[in-house]
Chains A and B, each alone.
Chain A
């Protein structure tokens, strides 16, 4: 196509509309109020996900069909597909078709989506398209459609099923439906399915989606078990997998997020002159795992200015190298290895001692007798060697990782899915075979740099639980246990890149059963834009499990964070989960509209009431009471939940007591009466707080 695709035009307009809706204060009574405040099914789901989602999905399907197997479809058909997807459940707003035409369509005319469609179709055609779309929406399930609309109706019906049918949380059901209902040839489908759930999948899914789209795949739908793309040509899956593996392999040092530090080598003189013992330096200088190449380079730059310090510096490097990060080799052996490397520059270097301390002293004495030129050459060699060792320690082999990754993400139903990687060692953290092992001790040491106040000696490991006589502090077992490269990447590397890891508060918007990927993309780009109060806000859109993870706070969750999270829930739909374990493996779908990891009786009651109303509404519907009071309440139920909780949270007091190293919501609820009737509870609480203030 020579011009921008209709999907792009509409998604842009939609994103502008949602932004305006937010700017005007969320509670403006316009078209989006209708969409966002209703719960169109008998389980928690937002109008944005179901109504707008079906519209976009139908449009995507039609557009793809036009480009490949059904070239008769016109722009007009595409517009009808979108509009009828959007309006297909207008009876859930409990209005008749007359009210729809006279009251709702004028509201729709004010939106950017309408204006952008008008640019494409022209005003006259668009009026007909709206009329046709409503016709189609009314007869979507019942038959009796005009022949011209029948072709489009198939796509809209499929889109409706996918975004609303509960069984479509499973991507294979989606594939079945597409093949059965639309008779799409299987070669046009490219599913990405989760093999084993782990944080890596969430982290790389965004990149996967982008790469596949660059290759020409059409993003269609994201479910809890994977995502589905439409393709019209062959795609090189191996290359994409290789890119992920390379991402895991390269350390993030070049990004320079972390300030490099200077090694304070001067104090080591006290040991060399015999005033202090070597053991006093055990925490001053750690193993190479604790330093980055930048640290070494920067210190060396400083040392170069004072040639007299070169012998001490080289000795300190030898001492650092003598500590094996994997705790396998002995110190003496490693010092010998280090000196062996230096001997390639100056063969006269020789050390006879047997203990590390003696050897270091001897090395220092030998170095003192050398001239500046030799010392410089030796220092160069030593720095080069240490840096290469650091890189070797932090680097991972790409091909092996690729094999391992195919266990986690299966792209395009490739064969040999469960190709077990063989290894003697198993990870102490995730229990998977280890390709590149890292000692648990050094892993925890790096973790300590990232998480303030983490006390490693207090951690326990399940492997020592069964031995009560050796109640195991982690420092006792960390020599024997190892961690795999993917665990390392997930926690250490990703923390550096994203500034987010499990343990921090995150609000997660979970979309169940399935969600249009285009819509998720709009949401994840909008979130940083509408939350101006933070400079850096990691938003991870996890297309592989249809959820969006938004970092809230690294310490305690405050009232502002709660309010923000609630606003996002109302605006962008899905089920909100406020949690500290967003990457957790058992985390796919929770059946409640709002869940918080900390118990709060009011929030629990109010969510219970929400679910109760949905159950009652379903019963009423079953009895044929199509305008029963519970059924009617579902029209504004999301707004009710949002508004009531917002009022409740706004009146909570923040606790002044700060507890160290504990994650919790620091809020106080004084004078609360929980009666089981949530709105009454909330407003009596609000009034009590007003009286106090």
Chain B
């Protein structure tokens, strides 16, 4: 019954950012695998292609254009296996950009630092430095199962 438990927990407020990054990293990993590329041959620059777009977004580039630019870059660099994957990535990018615009309103300086941290995090996820499952209590169900 007993088992070792190593899970990275994130707080609910962070989950909005970590989840899209995780989705994007999964997508990049699977696309590289699909094309039979070795992770050692891929540069950090290649992995983090979305970040120039995100930085431009913080400098005032419109939100919708940023999302479409990022998806263009993805389809050029990594390609999409099917429509479902594309939709997933699109949703993730939109959520990330949404969250960033919110954080930008709250603290415009810190959000630049956040972008840099996220870049490191994405590289970590893709290269497998951080391979532990990530968990948060996100789903909100109205069922009063636990209440007595």
CB distance from B142 to the nearest CB of A (A): 7
Smallest distance from the beta carbon of A90 to chain B beta carbons, Å? 8
CB distance from A51 to the nearest CB of B (A): 16
Contact of A687 among B4, B11, B110, B123 (CB under 8 A): B123
Please determine whether A29 and B14 come into contact, CB atoms closer than 8 angstroms. Answer: no
Residues in B with CB closer than 8 Å to A42 are none
A677 touches B4 (CB 8 A): no
User: Is B32 located at the chain interface by the 8 A CB criterion?
Assistant: no
Q: Which residue of B lies closest to A96 (CB)?
A: B145
Whether A95 contacts B146 in the complex (CB less than 8 A), given A609-B13, A639-B9, comes out as yes
* A-facing residues in B71-116 (Cβ within 8 Å): 107, 110-111, 113-114, 116
Instruction: Confirm or deny: B2 has a beta carbon within 8 angstroms of a beta carbon on chain A.
Output: yes
* Contact status of A683 and B8, CB under 8 A, knowing A626-B147, A627-B143, A627-B144: yes
Q: Is A419 an interface residue (CB 8 A)?
A: no
Per-position binary interface string of chain B over residues 125-148, scored 1 when its CB falls under 8 Å from any chain A CB and 0 otherwise: 000011000001111111111111
Q: Which of A93, A107, A629 contacts B1 (CB 8 A)?
A: A107
Q: Does B68 contact A (CB under 8 A)?
A: no
- Determine which of A97, A635, A643 lies in contact with B148 in the assembled complex, contact meaning CB atoms within 8 Å: A97
Write out, one digit per residue, whether chain B residues 10-41 have a CB within 8 A of any chain A CB (1) or not (0).
Answer: 11111001100000000000000000000000
Q: Give the distance in Å from the alpha carbon of A681 to the alpha carbon of B14 in the complex.
A: 11
Q: Is B3 an interface residue (CB 8 A)?
A: yes
Residues in A whose Cβ lies below 8 Å from that of B118: 680, 684
Q: How far is the CA of A416 from the CA of B13 in the complex (A)?
A: 56
Q: Are A635 and B137 in contact (CB under 8 A)?
A: yes
CB distance from B96 to the nearest CB of A (A): 12
CB distance from B51 to the nearest CB of A (A): 13
Dominant secondary structure of chain A at its interface with chain B: helix
Number of interface residues of B (CB under 8 A): 43
The secondary structure that dominates the B interface is loop
Instruction: Tell whether B117 is near chain A: CB-to-CB under 8 Å.
Output: yes
Which residues of the other chain, A, contact B18 by a CB distance below 8 angstroms? 679-680
CB < 8 Å A-B pair total = 133
Contacts of B117 in A (CB 8 A): 673, 675, 680-681, 684
Task: Tell me the smallest distance from the CB of A298 to a CB of chain B, in Å.
Answer: 57
Is B124 touching A683 in the complex (CB atoms < 8 A)?
A: yes
**B contact residues around A106 at 8 Å (CB):** 1
Chain B residues lying within 8 Å of A235, measured Cβ to Cβ, are none
B contact residues around A30 at 8 Å (CB): 1-2
Q: What is the bound-complex CA distance between A25 and B6, given in angstroms?
A: 11
Interface assignment of B120: CB less than 8 Å from any CB of chain A:
yes
Chain A residue at minimal CB-CB distance from B107: A676
Say yes or no: A683-B144 contact (C-beta < 8 A), given A613-B11, A633-B12, A643-B8.
no
Return the chain A residue nearest B9 by Cβ: A640
Nearest CB on B from A611, distance (A): 11
Residue interface mask A597-640, B partner, CB < 8 A = 1: 00000000000010011001000000001111110110110011
In the docked arrangement, what's the CA distance between A59 and B13, Å? 40
* B12: contacting residue among A93, A94, A613, A687, CB under 8 A: A613
Residues of B with C-beta under 8 A to A686: 130
A680 touches B14 (CB 8 A): yes
Assess whether A633 is in contact with B11, with CB atoms less than 8 Å apart.
yes
Q: Smallest distance from the beta carbon of A671 to chain B beta carbons, Å?
A: 9
Q: Nearest-CB distance from B30 to chain A (Å)?
A: 21
CA distance A99 to B146 in the complex (A): 9
Q: Is residue B5 within 8 Å, beta carbon to beta carbon, of the partner chain?
A: yes
Residue of A30, A684, A686, A688 with highest tally of chain B CB at under 10 A: A684
Cβ of A609 and Cβ of B147 under 8 Å apart?
A: no
- Is A679 touching B120 in the complex (CB atoms < 8 A)? no
Of chain B, the residue at the smallest CB distance from A138 is: B148
Q: Are B147 and A91 in contact (CB under 8 A)?
A: yes
Distance in angstroms between the alpha carbons of A411 and B116 in the assembled complex:
60
How many residues of chain A get a CB closer than 8 Å to chain B's CBs?
51
- In Å, the complex CA distance between A677 and B6 comes to 21
Write the chain A residue with the least CB distance to B141: A627
Q: Which of A282-302 contact B (CB under 8 A)?
A: none
A24 to B3, CA, bound (A): 10
Nearest-Cβ distance from residue B108 to partner chain A, whole angstroms: 12
Question: Is B9 a contact of A629 with CB atoms below 8 Å?
Answer: no
Contact A677 B14 (CB under 8 A): yes
Let me know if A91 and B12 touch, CB within 8 A.
Answer: no
Q: By CB atoms of chain A within 10 A, which of B4, B5, B143, B146 has the most?
A: B146
Q: Is A674 positioned at the interface, with any CB of B under 8 Å from its CB? A: yes
Contact of A222 with B by CB under 8 A: no
A627 to chain B, nearest CB (A): 6
- Would you call B140 and A629 a contact (CB within 8 A)? yes
Q: Is the CB of B137 within 8 A of A632?
A: yes
Are B14 and A679 in touch, CB under 8 angstroms?
yes
Residues of B within 8 A of A138 (CB): 148
Complex CA gap A625/B144 in Å reads 9
A677 vs B136: C-alpha distance when bound (angstroms): 14
For the complex formed, measure the closest distance between the CB of B72 and the CB atoms of chain A, giving whole angstroms.
Answer: 27
Residue of B nearest to A134 (CB): B148
Assess whether A27 is interfacial by the CB under 8 Å rule.
yes
Contacting residues, chain A, for B6 (C-beta < 8 A): 27
In-complex Cβ contact of A91 among B7, B137, B148 (8 A) = B148
A690 to B123, CA, bound (A): 12
Report A352-382 residues with CB < 8 Å from chain B CB.
none
A110 within 8 A of B: yes
- In the bound complex, residues from chain B placing their C-beta under 8 Å from that of A205 are none
With contacts A643-B9, A673-B113 taken as known, whether A628 is within 8 angstroms of B121 at the C-beta atoms is no
Known: A627-B146, A687-B123. Is A28-B4 also a contact (CB below 8 A)?
A: yes
Please state if A626 and B144 are interface contacts (CB–CB under 8 Å).
yes
Residues of chain B lying within 8 A (CB to CB) of residue A513? none
28 A-B contact pairs sorted by A residue (CB < 8 Å): A27-B5, A28-B2, A93-B146, A99-B145, A612-B13, A626-B146, A626-B147, A627-B144, A627-B145, A629-B140, A636-B9, A640-B11, A644-B9, A674-B110, A675-B111, A675-B114, A676-B110, A679-B14, A680-B10, A680-B17, A680-B117, A680-B118, A683-B124, A683-B130, A686-B130, A687-B120, A687-B121, A687-B124
Known: A96-B148, A613-B13, A633-B12. 4 other contacts (CB 8 A): A110-B1, A680-B121, A684-B124, A688-B120
Interface, chain A (partner B; CB < 8 A) = 24-25, 27-30, 33, 91, 93-97, 99, 106-107, 110, 138, 609, 612-613, 616, 625-630, 632-633, 635-636, 639-640, 643-644, 673-681, 683-684, 686-688, 690
Sorted nearest first, the 7 A-B pairs with minimum C-beta distance are: A632-B137, A684-B117, A640-B9, A675-B114, A687-B124, A684-B120, A94-B146
